[in-house]
């Protein structure tokens, strides 16, 4: 199978089959019958992981090379597998508490992961768009899955409307690129751009700008971030963690392929734009995040700021920066999912318990969750020896090596400011009097295992990052 024409899509097929199995299990489940539908997703993700490992180093391709399982794409796919496993492990309490349809929930999550994997492995603009739409439609529905909750409905509706606009921009960019090159393949687009040299046509600049808008929306780059706070607050908390990590990983994977590979000859044209966007994103995400008292909205603006940090690595575009993007995506995935996982486990049917005051005295009632939340927040703030510190160190080191001292300075200053709103939660958990009338349910064993794994990963990547960094560097070299 690994030597066949369809070898490159093995991970995507495994996840898709698991999603279909979850749909059928829900359809044939008797009313009131309990079925381990989430286990089907874990099995599919395990096979997808095995497929990625078996394909490592083979550069297998499918459908005429439009899907390429190189090490870069497989690194992203393995990160997405990890995101999927942690999401499913943390979802059980939320599904029971919110009375969500389990089959629908898990199927949509797995279909979204399949779309993300397609974005990571695709070397054709139309396939990237197809993967983008598969994941987008799935996440739109997941965001508004609590149909009786006005906030969830509003968040899903805003996400859908703005997402439709961004998809239209992206599709227009593909159309303009096709008109100019006669193909949507990235290698042919790159050859055409290289032939143009310094004489870049206005239509090509318009195509690049439209593609940039489409990617910027998915990564929540300023000024295309407006949907983020409402969608993050309205969605079920575990879904918020899932889309804040998985969607960002898939979008950055396609972003890197398109801009640092196919459009590399036009770097002088689009680099100043990304430079400005990275500064705006880091500053706005940090400054507005300081004013938030709702933890989901705070982490939404934190996610915006972290997107700006990763954009710094893309602007640097040197070997360190390219590898740092992959490493940072992995670190951000385990850290942010852990933080949202704690918020999800503390919620009840009556209230979400996601306001800052709800965490007063958490150390006294749930010391384990308080300790885990502290680790996740300190990692997001870039405090050593957490993995977040190493990720930011390599991102800013890449900027310095490339001569972007301004980006490195602004990135470090915004990181210092962001520590305030992370430590504010820590102080509330340990030093404030316990909140009255706040019920904190006992977490499930599986969810605690998932959070424990995230914590171990954070310390491992923070203390012994060399192996994973080398793996990321060797993965990036396969597409350049």
CA dist 467 to 71, 385, 387, 460, Å?
15, 16, 13, 10
pLDDT tens by residue, 336-392: 999 999 999 998 888 888 999 999 999 998 999 999 999 999 999 999 999 999 999
Q: Assign residue 432 a region: left if phi > 0, alpha if psi is -120 to 50, beta otherwise?
A: beta
Contact 455, 387 (CB under 8 A): no
Return d(Cα 265, Cα 261) in angstroms, integer: 9
User: Among positive and negative, which fits the CA dihedral 382, 383, 388, 389?
Assistant: positive
What is the crossing angle of helices 125-143 and 150-181, to 10°?
A: 170
433, with CB counted inside 10 A (0-12, 13-18, 19+), is exposed
Q: What is the pLDDT of residue 81?
A: 98
pLDDT tens by residue, 228-272: 999 999 899 999 999 999 999 999 999 999 999 899 989 989 999
Return d(Cα 380, Cα 299) in angstroms, integer: 10
End-to-end Cα separation, the chain, in angstroms: 27
Higher pLDDT pick, 465 / 198:
465
Helix (H, G, I), strand (E, B) or coil at 433: coil
Contact 229, 221 (CB under 8 A): no
Return d(Cα 9, Cα 245) in angstroms, integer: 22
Question: In the chain, what are the domain boundaries?
Answer: 7-479
> Quick check: 2 pLDDT over 80?
no
Q: What is the pTM of this model?
A: 0.95
DSSP 8-state assignment for residue 356 = G
Higher pLDDT pick, 87 / 151:
87
**Of the ranges 43-57, 249-263, 466-480, which one carries the lowest mean pLDDT score?**
466-480
Residue range 395-418: mean pLDDT, rounded: 95
DSSP string, 436-458: TT---PPPPHHHHHHHHHHHHHH
Return d(Cα 425, Cα 437) in angstroms, integer: 19
Residue range 305-325: mean pLDDT, rounded: 92
Contact 118, 131 (CB under 8 A): yes
pLDDT tens by residue, 110-169: 999 999 999 999 999 999 999 999 999 999 999 988 888 888 888 888 899 989 989 999
Q: What is the pLDDT of residue 1?
A: 47
């Amino acid at each position: 199978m690994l030597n066949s024409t369809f070898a490159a899509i093995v991970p995507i097929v495994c996840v898709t089959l698991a999603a279909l199995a979850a749909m059928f299990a829900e359809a044939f489940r008797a009313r009131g019958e309990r079925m381990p539908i989430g286990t089907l997703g874990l099995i599919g993700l395990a096979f997808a992981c095995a497929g990625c490992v078996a394909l490592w180093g083979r550069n297998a391709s499918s459908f005429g090379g439009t899907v390429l399982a190189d090490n870069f794409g497989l690194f992203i796919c393995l990160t997405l597998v990890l995101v999927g496993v942690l999401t499913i492990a943390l979802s059980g309490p939320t599904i029971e508490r919110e009375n969500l349809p389990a089959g629908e929930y898990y199927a949509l999550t797995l279909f979204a992961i399949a779309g993300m994997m397609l974005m990571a492995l695709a070397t054709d603009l139309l396939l990237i768009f197809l993967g983008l739409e598969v994941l987008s439609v799935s996440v739109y529905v997941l965001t508004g899955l609590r149909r009786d909750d006005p906030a969830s409905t509003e968040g899903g509706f805003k996400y859908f409307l703005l997402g439709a606009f961004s998809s239209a921009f992206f599709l227009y960019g593909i159309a303009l690129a096709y008109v100019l090159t006669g193909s949507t393949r990235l290698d042919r687009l790159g050859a055409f751009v290289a032939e143009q040299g310094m004489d870049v046509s206005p239509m090509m600049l318009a195509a690049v700008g439209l593609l940039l808008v489409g990617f910027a929306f998915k990564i929540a780059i300023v000024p295309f971030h407006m949907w983020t706070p409402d969608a993050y607050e309205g969605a079920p908390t575990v879904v918020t963690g899932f889309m804040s990590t998985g969607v960002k990983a898939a979008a950055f994977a396609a972003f890197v392929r398109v801009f640092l590979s196919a459009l590399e000859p036009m770097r002088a044209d689009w680099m100043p734009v990304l430079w400005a966007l990275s500064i705006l994103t880091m500053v706005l995400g940090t400054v507005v995040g300081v004013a938030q008292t709702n933890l989901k909205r705070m982490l939404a603006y934190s996610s915006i700021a972290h997107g700006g940090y990763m954009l710094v690595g893309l602007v640097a575009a040197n070997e360190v920066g390219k590898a740092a993007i992959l490493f940072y995506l992995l670190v951000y995935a385990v850290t942010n999912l852990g933080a949202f996982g704690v918020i999800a486990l503390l919620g009840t049917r009556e209230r979400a318990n996601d306001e800052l005051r709800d965490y007063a005295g958490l150390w006294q009632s749930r010391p384990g969750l308080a300790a885990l939340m502290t680790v996740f927040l300190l990692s997001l703030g870039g405090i050593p020896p957490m993995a977040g510190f190493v990720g930011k160190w390599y991102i800013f080191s890449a900027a310095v090596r490339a001569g972007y001292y301004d980006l490195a300075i602004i990135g470090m200053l915004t990181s210092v400011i962001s520590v305030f709103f992370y430590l504010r939660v820590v102080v509330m958990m340990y030093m404030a009097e316990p909140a009255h009338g706040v019920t904190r349910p006992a977490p499930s064993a599986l969810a605690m295992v998932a959070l424990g794994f995230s914590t171990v990963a954070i310390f491992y990547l923070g203390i012994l990052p060399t192996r994973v960094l080398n793996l990321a560097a060797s993965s990036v070299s396969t597409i350049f």
